[in-house]
């Protein structure tokens, strides 16, 4: 049976009723912000929210997160709580606050200038800064204390998200030995040679091993983690039924490939509104060419954006017959722009696009359209539906949801996916046109293949990938994690 929002809710209703279900993540599922002098509530699109929102609604749970919206403080009660969704309250969002120095050290510093480059092997040196580490510990403590306060001694399941919260599992478990604690790691876990340079590796591993369950996207990250632990702390590592026992406490280590709500994306892609959005996009960006390629990424140095532009350059150089017949549109929403490496990658992308467009443009045709803004999810689906191929060329990526969103939204008769072999998604989407983003010549050939592949083969590959994503959807991800936790 294919998992769905309904089967997930059923599982929660049947099995989770006696537990207080608490989620903690850096990012909140609902943000309050000013629009003029009115306060509005935004629901940022994210796979994790799609999966966990129904769990929290059905279990009347609590979500603890950093209140980052400029109007967040205005709407909470005396305990920093607000009932969400605001128009139909079903669960509690508990916000925690940080001042600028704390956010700088914990979020921009240790999370995104230390752990992010440390875990993504893309040759950006991580920064190891004592002050960042101090703030990271402080904010982990704040998260843990808030979770402990919400549990209030009750039977609880605590589901922590990502690399921002490595120290919290141990703190929560020590205060509440009966709580079942899981942490899901959304990014890659690198090999031990890479991780061993971290001066605080022991504290991080010990913090994580406070959890009862650690989830990674793929088996490869699980293996890397087991080996890292083996080399870092005194613990019993079982590689057959992956688990680690340290100081008498056992942590299961498992792969859970995250995914998307494939059915709702493909239903939306077939709706009349999307036809309308396609018309608008064609008009706005002059997308009236025979072959259209698309990419949608946060502007991040792990996503291989310059590499794909270099491949497009080479493709155009080798295949002049596609000049004025081909256009590539890149949606690139800016992120973490306070960090120098992110400013640098943004400048590099600008320069590259300008040079390539200058080299080839003629009459009214420019081969690359770079749109540096956030698209609405409807626009994004429309872009996927109208494109002949999508490029995901990450240098290293935990999973990559864009690949799965594209597969769900595209027209099976028309679409092709060019996918980096260094994404977690490449394990499941074996029918994609695989590329090594570091190899421009074969990458350029992959673009040609995406355009020229016989229609039947293209459709067959896409249908198989659509089936894979439909079956292994975001609800299955959540169900599998909950099922394992219940067995502990």
Q: How far is the CB of 363 from ligand GDG (least distance, A)?
A: 29
Separation of alpha carbons 444 and 448, rounded Å: 7
Toward ligand GDG, which CB reaches closer, 203 or 411? 411
Q: How far is the CB of 377 from ligand GDG (least distance, A)?
A: 4
Out of 172, 187, 369, 465, the residue judged to bind ligand GDG by CB under 6 A: 187
Toward ligand GDG, which CB reaches closer, 173 or 470? 470
Residue that the structure tokens 């890149």 belong to: 330
Q: How far is the CB of 280 from ligand GDG (least distance, A)?
A: 15
Separation of alpha carbons 239 and 259, rounded Å: 26
Name the one range near ligand GDG by CB under 6 A: 314-322, 352-360, 393-401, 457-465.
393-401
Pairing of strands 31-35, 81-84: unpaired
Q: How many CB atoms lie under 10 A from the CB of residue 247?
A: 10
Q: Where is 172: in which H helix or E strand?
A: helix 168-175
Polymer length in residues for the chain? 488
Mask of contacts with ligand GDG, 37-76, x by CB under 6 A?
Answer: --------x-x-----------------------------
Q: How far is the CB of 80 from ligand GDG (least distance, A)?
A: 26
Binding residues with ligand GDG: total (CB under 6 A): 21
Residue 156 DSSP one-character state: E
Q: From residue 386, how far is each of 106, 150, 194, 281, 288 by CA, in Å?
A: 40, 46, 41, 9, 10
Toward ligand GDG, which CB reaches closer, 112 or 243? 112
Separation of alpha carbons 25 and 162, rounded Å: 7
Separation of alpha carbons 394 and 357, rounded Å: 22
Q: Is the peptide bond before 61 cis (omega within 30 degrees of 0)?
A: no
Toward ligand GDG, which CB reaches closer, 250 or 298? 298
Separation of alpha carbons 217 and 221, rounded Å: 7
Out of 258, 274, 433, 446, the residue judged to bind ligand GDG by CB under 6 A: 258
Among positions 360-379, residues that touch ligand GDG (CB under 6 A) are: 374-377
Separation of alpha carbons 381 and 384, rounded Å: 5
Q: How far is the CB of 258 from ligand GDG (least distance, A)?
A: 4
Q: Which residues contact 275 (CB under 8 A, 6 or more apart)?
A: none
Out of 53, 150, 206, 405, the residue judged to bind ligand GDG by CB under 6 A: 405
Nearest CA to 274 out of 408, 380, 372 is that of 380
Toward ligand GDG, which CB reaches closer, 237 or 369? 369
Q: How far is the CB of 359 from ligand GDG (least distance, A)?
A: 27
Q: Are 19 and 155 in contact (CB under 8 A)?
A: yes
Toward ligand GDG, which CB reaches closer, 27 or 60? 27
Separation of alpha carbons 371 and 373, rounded Å: 6
Q: How far is the CB of 216 from ligand GDG (least distance, A)?
A: 10
Out of 186, 221, 308, 458, the residue judged to bind ligand GDG by CB under 6 A: 186
Q: List the end-to-end C-alpha distance of the chain, in Å, as a whole number.
A: 24
Q: How far is the CB of 249 from ligand GDG (least distance, A)?
A: 26
Among positions 261-320, residues that touch ligand GDG (CB under 6 A) are: 296, 298
Pairing of strands 180-184, 249-255: unpaired
Q: How far is the CB of 290 from ligand GDG (least distance, A)?
A: 25
Q: How far is the CB of 185 from ligand GDG (least distance, A)?
A: 9
Out of 261, 397, 445, 479, the residue judged to bind ligand GDG by CB under 6 A: 397
Among positions 112-171, residues that touch ligand GDG (CB under 6 A) are: none
Q: Is the peptide bond before 334 cis (omega within 30 degrees of 0)?
A: no
402 binding ligand GDG? (CB under 6 A): yes
Q: In the complex, which residues of this chain contact ligand GDG (CB under 6 A)?
A: 45, 47, 186-187, 258, 296, 298, 331, 333, 374-377, 380, 397-402, 405
């Amino acid at each position: 049976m294919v998992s769905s929002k309904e089967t997930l809710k059923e599982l929660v209703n049947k099995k989770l009723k006696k537990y207080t279900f608490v989620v903690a993540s850096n990012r909140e599922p609902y943000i309050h912000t000013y629009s003029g002098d009115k306060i509005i509530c935004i629901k940022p699109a994210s796979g994790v929210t799609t999966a966990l929102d129904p769990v929290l609604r059905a279990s009347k749970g609590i979500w603890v997160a950093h209140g980052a919206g400029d109007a967040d403080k205005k709407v909470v009660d005396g305990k920093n709580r607000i009932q969400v969704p605001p128009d139909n309250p079903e669960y509690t969002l508990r916000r925690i606050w940080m001042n600028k120095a704390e956010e700088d050290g914990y979020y921009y510093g240790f999370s995104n200038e230390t752990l992010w480059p440390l875990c993504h092997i893309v040759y950006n040196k991580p920064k190891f800064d004592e002050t960042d580490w101090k703030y990271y510990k402080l904010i982990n403590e704040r998260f843990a204390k808030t979770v402990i306060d919400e549990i209030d001694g009750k039977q609880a399941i605590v589901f922590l998200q990502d690399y921002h919260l490595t120290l919290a599992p141990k703190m929560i478990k020590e205060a509440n030995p009966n709580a079942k604690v899981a942490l899901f790691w959304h990014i890659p876990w690198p090999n031990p040679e890479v991780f061993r340079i971290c001066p605080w590796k022991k504290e991080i591993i010990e913090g994580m091993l406070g959890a009862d369950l650690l989830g990674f996207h793929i088996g490869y990250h699980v293996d890397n983690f087991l080996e890292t632990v083996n080399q870092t702390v005194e613990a019993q590592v079982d590689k057959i039924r992956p688990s680690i026992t340290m100081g008498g406490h056992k942590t299961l280590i498992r792969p859970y490939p995250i995914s998307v709500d494939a059915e709702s994306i493909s239903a939306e892609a077939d709706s009349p509104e999307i036809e309308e959005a396609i018309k608008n996009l064609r008009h706005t960006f002059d997308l009236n060419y025979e072959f259209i390629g698309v990419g949608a990424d946060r502007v991040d140095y792990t996503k291989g954006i310059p590499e794909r532009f270099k491949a497009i350059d080479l493709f155009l150089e080798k295949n002049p017959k596609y000049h004025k017949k081909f256009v590539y549109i890149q949606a690139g929403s800016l992120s973490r722009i306070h960090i120098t490496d992110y400013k640098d990658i943004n400048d590099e992308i600008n320069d590259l696009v300008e040079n390539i467009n200058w080299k080839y443009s003629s009459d009214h045709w420019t081969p690359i359209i770079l749109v540096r803004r956030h698209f609405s999810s409807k626009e994004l689906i429309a872009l996927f539906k109208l494109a002949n191929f999508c490029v995901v060329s990450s240098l290293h990526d935990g999973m990559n949801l864009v690949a799965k969103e594209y597969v769900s939204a595209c027209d099976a008769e028309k679409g092709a996916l060019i996918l980096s072999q260094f994404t977690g998604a490449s394990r499941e989407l074996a029918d994609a046109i695989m590329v090594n983003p570091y190899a421009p010549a074969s990458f350029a050939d992959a673009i040609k293949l995406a355009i020229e592949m016989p229609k039947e083969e293209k459709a067959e590959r896409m249908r198989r990938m659509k089936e894979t994503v439909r079956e292994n959807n975001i609800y299955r991800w959540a169900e599998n994690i909950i099922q394992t936790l219940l067995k502990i």
